[in-house]
Amino acid sequence: MATENSESSLVVASWTTLQVPKSSTFDTRNTEDGRTWLSIIRPMTRSKQPGFLHGIFGRVVESMQTVWLVTAWESSEALEKFEASSTWSTQRELMASMSMTFPKTVHCDFSGFWWDRLTPHTGVTDLSFPSSIAEDVCMKILGVKGLEYFFRPGASEPKAFNGSGVRGWIRGTSRVDDVEVITLRVFDHWMSDELETEFKTKASTLEGEEGILVYDRFVRDFKELGMVNMKERHCRFTHIPTTFY
């Protein structure tokens, strides 16, 4: 079962997961861990890596020892060339020296830019489906309505998110409860935990003459298309600098 679309319309991402002790000060430059992390991210600039677009990293709120490093690329070819380089080999060695388990990297094909509207409470949701589902069902999954207002707040009222969500298939398969699955990863740019909760429990829409919560419809529509697992997490991402001095 294929989950790829025409790459010309996609943003290719490399998504690496590390398990870093909560006591680590990797995000503080003037520490041993901080200097190691700086050595990892310093090569990630457009001037040094052809086809590189942007990078972000951060700890996962629900599992603070989990650290994500996410980089965006113009094409699969650019990413593949980087991953064949000595720079990538050195990065992997350095990340392995920091992580309690060997770092795991997956590739994702996102529907658009996801780093231009990050918030301190960015949501990352993984929606998993049996790997046997048909291509036309995959297209329907991509077309499910996202978490957006039907009744928009007034101009002076706070909004729950900073722009529309972005979604993309993780390449390859994994296993959830002994089921082989493919996974759709979704970015939602929540402004805060409180506003996210308020949206999910109060924001409604209409189906015919009946009202339904936008979040309930979101979950229901994916379940009707075969979703077997849904995992919601959040991260306060930091941008990799565009220039290092």
**pLDDT, tens only, 160-187:** 999 889 999 999 999 999 999 999 999 9
In this structure, which topology does domain 10-110 adopt according to CATH? Alpha-Beta Plaits (3.30.70)
- Which DSSP string do the residues of 35-78 spell out, in sequence order? HHHHHHHTT-STTTSTTEEEEEEEEETTEEEEEEEEEEES-HHH
Q: Indicate the domain borders of the chain.
A: 10-110, 121-235
Same fold, 10-110 and 121-235: yes
CA distance 197 to 186: 17
For the cut 60, the answer to whether the pLDDT of residue 152 exceeds it is: yes
Higher pLDDT, 5 or 227: 227
pLDDT for the residue numbered 5: 45
For the cut 80, the answer to whether the pLDDT of residue 86 exceeds it is: yes
Report the chain's C-alpha Rg in angstroms.
19
pLDDT for the residue numbered 9: 72
The rounded mean pLDDT for the chain is 94
For the cut 70, the answer to whether the pLDDT of residue 233 exceeds it is: yes
Predicted model pTM: 0.92
CATH 3.30.70.100 fits 121-235, yes or no: yes
